[in-house]
A and B are shown apart, each in its own frame.
Chain A
Amino acid sequence: MGGGAAAVSGRGPVDPRGGARVEVVGLDAGYGRRPVLSAVRLTVEPGGWLGVIGPNGSGKSTLLRSVLGLHPHAGQVRIDGLPLAGMPRRDRARLLAYAPQLPVLPDGVSTRDYVLLGRTPHRPLLAAPRRVDREVVADVMGRLELDGLADRAVVTLSGGEQQRAVLARALAQQPRVLLLDEPTAALDLGHAQQVLDLLDRLRRQDGLTVLSTLHDLTLAGQYADHLTLLAEGRVVAEGSPEQVLTAAVLAEHYGARARIVPGPHGPAVLPVRGA
């Protein structure tokens, strides 16, 4: 992966290195009159990985979309101390990249052209892609082992390959923060682990900050270095995976019976059938 790291150091002048600190303070959001998030507060250190967990409907996706400015909200979102509110959209897109839970994959578009869309905030909107754009795309696709799939239509890839293509598009954006909504939702266990291993490697190489929702608690406990548990739109627990993933917390907020199995990379959550 040395070649990848070298290419990353060749980033354009507009692009600061590494991950940024993410701060969310007093974030309220809702749909119409129905409040979904209230007074959410969280911090992700540069290069950290914060996993947002919580039962269905607790507001995880809305939180991510609010941080991205895709959902109307009150409260502050700051990136390295800079408020996102009022920031031009293209500047924002150079800081934050987003991979939604159900990405829209355009019909008839090759994987390479799809990844190239990630260059949108960096290149003149009306002009053809520049050489630097093609170089960044080639580099990212190499790191995500997508070279062989570059000319295939992105809609014809397998689920795991598509997830890598979406990640590649997000990385081609050269962001400082990656926001991922359920990056493993469509994947089987093996592919889920591959994608999360890949993410972990990428964030360590580039020092990227990762903010992701994860509904699989064991995967969340193994990969994220901090967890925030949302329930009914509020932060009800936060801290290291060991602090958040306890039998008592899961019983209270998920209504779940589970045993916590400690491990070297974090706790695993084992569902247990009741009497």
Chain B
Amino acid sequence: MTSHALHLLTGLRRSVAAGVIALFAIALLGNGAFAAEHAKAEAKTELVEDSHHGHTHGPAGHPTAAKKFGYAYLTAYMFCLSLCLGALFIVILNHLFDAQWMIPIRRFLEHIACLLFPTMFILWIPIGYLAVDIYPWMSIDPDHDHALHAKAILFNKPAFYGVSCLLFLVWGFIAHGLRSASLAQDKDGAASHTRTMRRYAAGGIFLFAFSLTGAAIYWMKSLQHQFFSTMYGVVYFAGSVWVTAITTYWLLLYFKNRGDLKDVAREVTFHDCGKLFFAFTVFYAYIHFSQYFLIWNAAVPEETFWYVLRENGTWKWVGQLTIFGHFWFPFIFLLPIHRKLNFQAMSMMTGWAWLCHYMDLQFNIGPVLYPDGLSVGIYDVLSLGGILAVLIFMFSRAFNAHPPYPQRDPRIAEAMGVYVEPASSKAAH
């Protein structure tokens, strides 16, 4: 059992798994030590400052237990949501481009996308319940806050809960529509299912773009309701597909080693997954840089306050991790072709991408409650572990209940690298 769990961690070697875990542990410990150092210095200045104007809190106010848990849970939730939405996007992409190389990865991505509803909806309930603790705008009177007054049409409780529920319905509609047609095709092989899936994908891509942006705005950006950025949804999207692409690579490797996908996972499939990850490494950097660059250049206080808060304490280093760990390292590392085909290197990169994407979400969410620096504690570990455990359980159940890849997709032979003579040309002979 233990060895199997370790196997699940890397799909390769225990030493690699141990290496990844050690890196995480060092990062956590290092942060803990740094935070403790910081707290000592803080305590000294507090003694002096307290008598004058009290302790400074973030926009979310004093970190109560409910808030601490709420923020940890929200970060973990947005991380898992990234994987589900990224999976939905890649499935839609498959049908939009009629791509043959994605056939081997499509089935397990369909299952991940279907976790959006109802699993992720049920997992969202704690956020809805704790919303008043998590989102500062919920306890502000719009008549006393100009920014909130101007955005009141979006930021009011009925809209928040209404839109949130609507998002899950939209995702459930697209994801389940795509998967049920795909599963039906396994049985009868009818081409009409491919056309059905194309229709879901063509309409779904628009619904996806709006709904993902809605989720990023309502659940993450609204933590600081004064902030303006038209790029915000796209930044979350780019990061989500980035982390999903490398996770897809790893899952393909895992299911190939386990035997489920050994007939369809070819070298070129891994290469293409690696290229997708590489493309989104550049795309994410491009999008996040554009957001930062425009705000930096314009220097309007309504926008700069968001990044100013994120330059305090250890948040500055989390930002550096996004620049160097999220972009430069994977970019330089994956330039040569052979690295994209090196399973050990790519498994390590999966762990690294998870760390960087999680830290990116911490960077978005954390400073509102912890303005002095990154704070990762037991709530974060429990939330992420708990949500992931539920998702992995639901995913394995779905994956094991159905064929591991689309059995009778019109492009399956092509994906397997086999040439099948069309029936029409056979008749001609």
Interaction A to B: no
By a beta-carbon cutoff of 8 Å, the part of chain A in contact with chain B is none
